[in-house]
Amino acid sequence: MRFDQHTVVLLVRPDDAPDLPQDALDRLQDAHLAHQAGLAEQGAVLAAGPFLGGDDERIRGLVVLSVDPQMARELYANDPAVRAGRLRAQVLSWMVPEGNLRFEQVPVPRSMLEAAAGD
């Protein structure tokens, strides 16, 4: 059997994440989304989204990338939320049977306002 290999990033809230005022958190979230949308426009992000109501609230989101693990580390080291210490990127290689997954190019929200608009 042949396999496709993808790079996966788990975005995790560190136990020592800095406490910030809500307006700073909102700006940081928008900067994080804009960074991720830019990576999607470059073709690096295949799929991304947050987790809700999970067993471990520290695990905040998942990203599937078209780049190798080292490049994923470099890309997410530049994520504003990672730089601010609000998220940590855990990088993994993920193998699935060849052809098992298909990714469509869809717009990725650049801000919370855009995500809430649902367009």
Q: Is the pLDDT of residue 64 over 90?
A: yes
Element (H, E) at 81: helix 80-83
| Whole-prediction pTM | 0.90
Contact 31, 80 (CB under 8 A): yes
For residue 89, what are its two tokens?
């990127």
Q: What percent of the chain has pLDDT over 90?
A: 81
Domains of the chain plus CATH, in order, are 3-100 (3.30.70.1060)
Mean pLDDT to the nearest integer, 45-69: 94
Q: What percent of the chain has pLDDT over 70?
A: 98
Q: Is the pLDDT of residue 101 over 90?
A: no
